[in-house]
């Protein structure tokens, strides 16, 4: 079965860029910009309205970091998986900088449910979540990657399964376990 032309062209551009063709990056960015912007907006959707980071700024920061990546891109799923990790890292870095400026003032506890990543308390709990995600990755890398790809990357179950070379049923099962583990970890964290 052939990929649709837009996916084929994106994969071709990614491979050309990964091979050192900087002109391919210039052609690629308009193709992926809208999707990256949607991912960024999703990550920021429930941030505090006074939050200083906006979706466009998040995408621009991701772009600046991506242009320096020396990665042999496989396909669009690989690109968006890497982008999801990058967006998470940028948000965590921003939260850490903000916490340093505020000297840690009043971090609220968050709960883990379907709205965890885009819930109203994400700004306050992002650092706790990142620390819990790092502990989960140390214990079970695949569960951590599933949470990251689905929640930060906005990938579907099928795309996440393809990116990790597992079945969608395994994604669903591992996601349940990962959410339960994170819920327990975040419940035990002092707030």
The series of mean pLDDT values per 10 residues for the chain, 191 residues long, is 62 88 86 85 68 80 83 85 84 75 48 41 64 90 88 82 89 90 78 52
Residues in the chain, total: 191
Give residue 119's pLDDT. Answer: 39
CA separation for the pair 25, 23 (Å, rounded) = 5
Q: Which residues contact 69 (CB under 8 A, 6 or more apart)?
A: 82
Taking the model in full, what pTM does it have? 0.61
Which token pair is 109?
A: 């506890």
Q: How many domains does the chain have?
A: 1
């Amino acid at each position: 079965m052939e990929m649709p032309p837009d996916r084929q062209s994106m994969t071709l551009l990614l491979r050309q860029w990964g091979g050192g063709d900087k002109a391919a990056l210039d052609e690629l960015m308009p193709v992926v910009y809208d999707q990256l912007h949607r991912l960024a907006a999703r990550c920021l959707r429930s941030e505090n309205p006074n939050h200083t980071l906006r979706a466009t700024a998040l995408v621009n920061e991701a772009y600046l970091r991506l242009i320096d990546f020396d990665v042999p891109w496989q396909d669009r799923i690989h690109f968006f998986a890497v982008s999801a990790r990058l967006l998470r890292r940028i948000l965590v870095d921003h939260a850490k900088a903000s916490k340093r400026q505020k000297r840690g003032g009043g971090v609220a506890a968050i709960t883990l449910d379907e709205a965890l990543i885009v819930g109203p308390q994400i700004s306050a709990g992002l650092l706790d979540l990142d620390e819990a995600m790092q502990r989960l990755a140390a214990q079970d890398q695949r569960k951590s990657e599933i949470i990251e790809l689905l929640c930060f990357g906005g990938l579907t179950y099928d795309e996440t399964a393809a990116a990790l070379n597992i079945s969608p049923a395994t994604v669903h099962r591992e996601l349940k376990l990962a959410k339960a583990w994170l819920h327990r970890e975040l419940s035990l964290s002092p707030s």
